[in-house]
Chains A and B, each alone.
Chain A
Amino acid sequence: MRYIDPHIHMVSRVTDDYQRMAQAGCVAVTEPAFWAGFDRSSPQGFYDYYVQLTEVEPKRAAQFGIKHHCWICINPKEAEDVGFAREVIALIPQFLEKPGVLGVGEIGLNKNSKNELEILEAQIDLAAKHNQLVLVHTPHLEDKLKGTMLIMDAIANDGRIAPDRVLIDHVEEHTVGHVLSRGYWAGMTLYPETKMTPQRAADVIECYGQERLWINSAGDWGCSDPLAVPKCQQEMKLRGHTPETIERISYDNPLTFLSQSGRFSIE
């Protein structure tokens, strides 16, 4: 069954993963800018990363018939140094003009600090000024609920970006209802331990419905699974969900949200 993985960090994956994903039905991926597992020492390090996202990865994906798109930002883990982060933000507008760039992301919060919030607000402003879609990273574990609420408040307080142009990612059972009820899109990340399992994601779909909801692997340099989306498709199939429901969650919904950018294509 075909699918889109709308959040995966392919710069951290080997080329064999592209091959396996294509064999499992992947037709397109979108890759948000994120933390590399270490702090970059200069804004130039981010510039090079953005070149990798916009020029190198699309070619690597294309070898296997997968369309690659990306999102550009400075991630919240590197936002504590506000001066440094603002230098990086100044580099971003030139990349927003590139053909495969869908918007600003994954912005958000990590430890819910004042400095992280200041840089989040700066990037909400950037997205609004450039009429961009937004992909949001929500914090981990005990910080997620508080961070999710702070992020949604920041977007609402800015007021220029409609909720249906924002995807709040890494939702779990305690945040998905808040996100959907405020009109945002919600992403469920399928991780072995720290986020959602395919079983729990299927539970959320059964409890909250199929509207404005997608699944992704967020495969990266840590413990993660680039085939998590087809594994969730399989879980839903074994439970008796219809092919239409499975396709809506894993293909139609990402297509609908991402197409708002005017740049997303699977051709």
Chain B
Amino acid sequence: MADPPDHSCPLPSDGVINRYFMEHRAKLLDIAAFLDRLDRSEAPESTEADFRVEAMRRAIQLLVDEKGERAKRILELFSDPTTDPIPAAPMKGATGAYKEPTP
């Protein structure tokens, strides 16, 4: 697919900021508070970092790289990169981030 078209949002940039800034300021603070809460919590005995939080930390870097299509690239970052069907479904749900199989 071609790159998304420029200026396809009908709102001017100041309209986008006026309409959405407060909502996303609050969401940014939610992420900050979540990471602070994690810092204040007792770590499990395992020293291995949680794969979901590690994926989130990598995703946050994409927010500030100024390369565009951030939502798409973050979703790709969270995704299973393999292409073959798995032998059997281990559960019905999903965790939100891909976990490398343990060898």
Contact = CB atoms under 8 A, between A and B. Distances in A.
Interface of A: 35, 77, 80, 110-117, 139-146, 149-150, 172-174, 177-178, 180-181, 199-200, 203, 206-208, 238-241
Contact of A115 (B69, B79, B89, B94): B89
12 contacts: A114-B88, A117-B85, A141-B97, A143-B94, A145-B79, A146-B83, A177-B1, A203-B71, A206-B8, A206-B9, A207-B8, A239-B9
A113 B86 contact: yes
Contacts of A203: 9, 71
Chain B interface residue count: which class? 35 or more
B39 interface: no
B78 A141 contact: yes
Given A113-B86, A145-B80, A174-B76, A140 B93 contact: yes
B69 to A, nearest CB: 7
Nearest to B90: A111
B85 A207 contact: no
Q: Which of B10, B78, B81 has the most CB of A within 10 A?
A: B10
B68 to A, nearest CB: 10
B80 A173 contact: no
Q: Which of A114, A174, A199, A200 has the most CB of B within 10 A?
A: A174
A150 B84 CA distance: 8
Contacts of A200: 71
Contacts of A206: 4-5, 8-10
A113 B98 contact: no
